[in-house]
Amino acid sequence: MVVLWCNEIQNVLKVRNAEPLLEGKNPTPQVEIKFWQLRAKDFEQIYQQMIDPTVKMMVKCLKDGNSIYYKLYKDLYSSVVGALVEANDNLAYLTTVSNALAKVEETDFDACAPLLGPLMHTIGLVWVHSRYYNTAERITVLLQMLCNFVIELVDNYISPEEMFKGDMAETIPLVKTAEQVMSSFRMAFDDTRKRLPSMFPPGVTPRPWFFQPDIVFSRFTKVHERLKIAYYLMDTNVNFMKLEKVEFGGIRGNSLGDDVIVIFQEFDEAFKLFTESKYNPLDASDPTFLENFETFNLIMADFDRRLATIVCKGYYDCSGLEMIFKLIEMMGPLLERQLILKDFDDKYPQVVKMMDEALDICFELYEEQMAIKKETGSMVVHKNMPPMAGAMIWAREIYNRVAIYMESFSRLEHQIKNMDEFKHIFVRLEDLKHLLDQNDKFYFNSWLSTVDEICSFNMSQPLLTRDSETRLLAVNFDAKLVAVLKEMKYLKLRNKELIPVIPEGVYEKRDMLFKYYANLMLIMQLYNKLITESLPVEKPLISPHLMKIDNELEEALTTLSWEMQGIILLGN
């Protein structure tokens, strides 16, 4: 009986925490914690049996009889006590790990990355302070289980068996988040490993983690790589699905569009390798996913070459920068694919050159306009435009000849953005803007120097004037004042310059001003019609009435001006 009992205890002592891993299972840290809970409970019960009075009496008999089993029992007792102390100590430290794990589990997956650093730091502290859990064998087992824990979180978050069967555009953010969490976990390990020596108390010799990370991250790395492949496949799918709506312009637009549709249809068929699969793409033990990926890559190489040819033809069919940028934006990330970029790569320097040539034209137009201004004293502006507003609108149009492309130009995803030629475009555009702003400033200051006088003088003039010979009336609203109102309208739209009080006051009353102008025009037209169209026999009959009208209009011809009370309050 003693022998059997001792053998049973020996069997319990031989149980190791790494057995689930050695059996090919994927246990999580909860399994490790459960192992030490059960081990502490088992050895507590065994210890209680060993200190039972009946057992003690039996041991005394063995000792008194010089039995060979006494030494066996004595050694076994020491092992049980040591195992019990070890189990309780390990369980105490693993409880802190359990608390950190609980925080991760209770947090939404997409927000758990910041908690992985503290979790790994806790494991580092266990290594530093534990008396029994500070061996490479123990810590690597825990870290492997921790890797399985993260993989399990990923599986629950993205449902890998279904991730190729739904809307890829909706699944991609989930896969990206999962990949970032896995990367964060690996970075947390590397950071803790690097900081580990500094975590030891003063006077204690640091014991770094000398084990190879591959021992811990073997399965984790495989799953992580598969997750990256899944993200690549989904991203490829989303980009190629856009080909269905791609439309090319130019002479060969219809032909190129038909070729793209063929590629789209063939891609959709090829991608069924994944959409119709029944395996778990993240299962590191199943090679099917990687085999399908290899097959798919061979097919994609053909698609990329054909698409590169189509895009290059579309580029040469573009009539200018606008169509080129539309082509680049339409193709989007597809242009970054290796085989497509290989053929399209030399087009980016050409785009930069075209932008530079467009700027050359802008500078030439500016110089031509400045030459005309120097010779004639004014610029050539659009018909019916006042000088200042016309000059500013011209400047804006010159600037926009290139500026309208700058947003698309700056969004180019290509290494050419790091080259001086690319950056020089922005410098030249800024130089052009400076010249045009200086011209705007010149015209604004010139306008500013006369606008108060124009407004004050013309607003103080009588409402009407009369031709001394024909006696015909005219509305005395000067063309210069009309020009001021037009200038003001444009300045208000620009909302850049500080407008003086007097023209501001005129502009604020523009609606009322034009209302009075329209009424006076109607009066003028009716009066002039009486003067010019009345028959000689009618004039004696209407003469008394005309005299009465003239008396009524006398005030508008002599004293009543546009700025008087009841007409308009200037600057009010």
Question: 76 and 134: one domain?
Answer: yes
Could you tell me if residue 539 is inside a domain? yes
Question: 333 and 188: one domain?
Answer: no
What tokens were used for 429?
């555009």
Dihedral sign for Cα atoms in the order 14, 15, 17, 23: positive
Q: Record the pTM.
A: 0.75
Please say whether the beta carbons of 294 and 351 come within 8 A. Answer: no
pLDDT value of residue 569: 39
Could you tell me if residue 171 is inside a domain? yes
Please say whether the beta carbons of 222 and 287 come within 8 A. Answer: no
Could you tell me if residue 39 is inside a domain? yes
Which tens digit of pLDDT belongs to each residue from 143-167?
Answer: 999 999 999 999 999 988 888 988 8
Q: Among the three residues 195, 219, 250, which one is the final residue of a domain in this structure?
A: 195
How many domains, in total, are found in the chain?
Answer: 3
pLDDT value of residue 39: 80
Which tens digit of pLDDT belongs to each residue from 91-130?
Answer: 899 999 999 999 999 999 999 999 999 999 999 999 999 9
- Mean predicted confidence (pLDDT) in 513-524: 79
What tokens were used for 368?
């031509």
Question: 42 and 175: one domain?
Answer: yes
Pairwise pLDDT comparison (19 vs 418), residue with the higher score: 418
Band of the pLDDT at 306, cuts 50, 70, 90?
Answer: very high
Could you tell me if residue 206 is inside a domain? no
Question: 43 and 102: one domain?
Answer: yes
Could you tell me if residue 263 is inside a domain? no
Could you tell me if residue 330 is inside a domain? yes
Which tens digit of pLDDT belongs to each residue from 156-199?
Answer: 999 888 889 888 888 999 999 999 999 999 999 999 999 999 99
Band of the pLDDT at 281, cuts 50, 70, 90?
Answer: very high
Q: What percent of the chain has pLDDT over 70?
A: 82
Distance CA(140)–CA(119), nearest Å, equals 15
Question: 46 and 95: one domain?
Answer: yes
| Residue 94, amino acid | L
Question: 417 and 470: one domain?
Answer: no
pLDDT value of residue 59: 61
- Mean predicted confidence (pLDDT) in 400-416: 89
* pLDDT over threshold 60, residue 142: yes
**The domain containing residue 378 runs over which residues?**
318-460
pLDDT value of residue 10: 63
Question: 43 and 184: one domain?
Answer: yes
Question: 99 and 21: one domain?
Answer: yes
Q: Among the three residues 460, 481, 505, which one is the final residue of a domain in this structure?
A: 460
* pLDDT over threshold 70, residue 203: yes
Question: 50 and 110: one domain?
Answer: yes
H-run or E-run covering 473: strand 473-475
pLDDT value of residue 267: 94
What are the phi and psi torsion angles at 459 (to 5°)? -75, -20
* pLDDT over threshold 70, residue 571: no
Could you tell me if residue 145 is inside a domain? yes
Question: 416 and 483: one domain?
Answer: no
**Minimal CA–CA distance to 307: which of 367, 271, 266?**
266
Q: Among the three residues 414, 433, 460, which one is the final residue of a domain in this structure?
A: 460
Least confident interval from 101-105, 225-229, 502-506, 521-525: 502-506
Residues near 159 by beta carbon (within 8 Å), at least 6 away in sequence: none
* pLDDT over threshold 60, residue 341: yes
pLDDT value of residue 84: 81
Question: 28 and 162: one domain?
Answer: yes
Question: 385 and 468: one domain?
Answer: no
pLDDT value of residue 223: 95
* pLDDT over threshold 60, residue 492: yes
Terminal CA-to-CA distance of the chain, rounded, Å? 116
Band of the pLDDT at 254, cuts 50, 70, 90?
Answer: confident
Could you tell me if residue 429 is inside a domain? yes
